[in-house]
Amino acid sequence: MLGFCCVAYLYAGGVQFNRLTELAKQRYGDHAVQSIGELNQALNRVSNASDEEKLIAINGFFNRKLEFVDDLNLWKQSDYWATPLESIGMQAGDCEDFSIAKYVFLKALNISNEKLRLTYVRAQLYDQDVKVVKAHMVLSYYRTPTSEPLILDNLIPDILPASQRPDLNPIFSFNDKGLWVGGSTQPKASSQQHLSKWRDVLLRIRADGIE
């Protein structure tokens, strides 16, 4: 445990792990400090790796560490977007929280913002053997602006090309630079004003020490 408490440097991707560790200790206790330390180690292991190796590491870390719990049960709100620190501290989150955490720390690994989009989809799921369609969020990775995206999803462990996820129908996607409708390659003009929850969570993420 002591080793995790002594992390005190600015990670190259803009994560102030000293501040993140201090806040984790104050708000959530030793389990959160340990998880932050493990995350730091995971980032360091793949800091010089390929994009694909970084995707696997971060997708796997958060899919293992977080339990899926909906906002109403976890936060007593119908729709709450948590920061990665909040998700790690609570050891849980919903699909938005998984996707936000993966986005933030892949950016910290110097994967460019242009390659990453949080994507709202209609997902075909099964509830007691009955197929239902539900709103869902995944993280999409684009090797180039026009390439087929890879999908990082909390529902399954594998990272697959979008063509191998026929259960997902994209509605719109966004990052901290813009918003795209459907599978468009061109961002929608002046779109960020429509994403107040996104702006709010970005401000809270920065307050936690993550740029």
What pLDDT score does 6 carry? 36
What pLDDT score does 196 carry? 87
Per-residue pLDDT reduced to its tens digit, 137-156: 999 999 998 999 999 999 99
Q: Answer whether CATH 3.10.620.30 is correct for domain 2-207.
A: yes
Per-residue pLDDT reduced to its tens digit, 74-103: 999 999 999 999 999 999 999 999 999 999
What pLDDT score does 42 carry? 96
What pLDDT score does 28 carry? 98
For every residue of the chain, DSSP letters joined together read -HHHHT--SB-TTSBBHHHHHHHHHHHH-HHHHHHHHHHHHHHHHTTTS-HHHHHHHHHHHHHHH-EE--HHHHHSSSS----HHHHHHHTEE-HHHHHHHHHHHHHHTT--GGGEEEEEEEEEEEETTEEEEEEEEEEEE-SSTTSPPEEE-SS-SS-EEGGG-TTEEEEEEE-SS-EEETT-SSPBTT-GGG-HHHHHHHHHHHHTTB-
Per-residue pLDDT reduced to its tens digit, 22-72: 999 999 999 999 999 999 999 999 999 999 999 999 999 999 999 999 999
Find the radius of gyration of the CA atoms of the chain.
Answer: 17
Q: Which residue has the higher pLDDT, 201 or 182?
A: 201
**Distance from C-alpha of 37 to C-alpha of 43, rounded to nearest angstrom:** 10
What pLDDT score does 93 carry? 98
**Under a CB-based contact definition with an 8 Å cutoff, are residues 108 and 11 in contact?**
yes
Per-residue pLDDT reduced to its tens digit, 165-199: 999 999 999 998 888 886 665 556 545 555 789 99
Name the least confident of 2-11, 118-127, 135-144: 2-11
Number of C-beta neighbours around residue 202 at 10 A: 18
Domain boundaries, the chain: 2-207
From 21, 109, 31, 102, select the one nearest 60 (Cα to Cα): 102
What pLDDT score does 176 carry? 86
What pLDDT score does 188 carry? 60
**Under a CB-based contact definition with an 8 Å cutoff, are residues 91 and 74 in contact?**
no
**Distance from C-alpha of 158 to C-alpha of 30, rounded to nearest angstrom:** 30
Q: What is the pTM of this model?
A: 0.89
17 half-sphere exposure, CB direction, 13 A CA radius: 24
What pLDDT score does 192 carry? 54
Residue 1's pLDDT band (cuts 50, 70, 90): very low
**Under a CB-based contact definition with an 8 Å cutoff, are residues 36 and 42 in contact?**
no
Residue 9's pLDDT band (cuts 50, 70, 90): very low
Pairing relation of β-strands 67-68 and 92-93? parallel
What pLDDT score does 3 carry? 37
What crossing angle do the helices spanning 51-65 and 30-45 adopt, rounded to 10°?
160
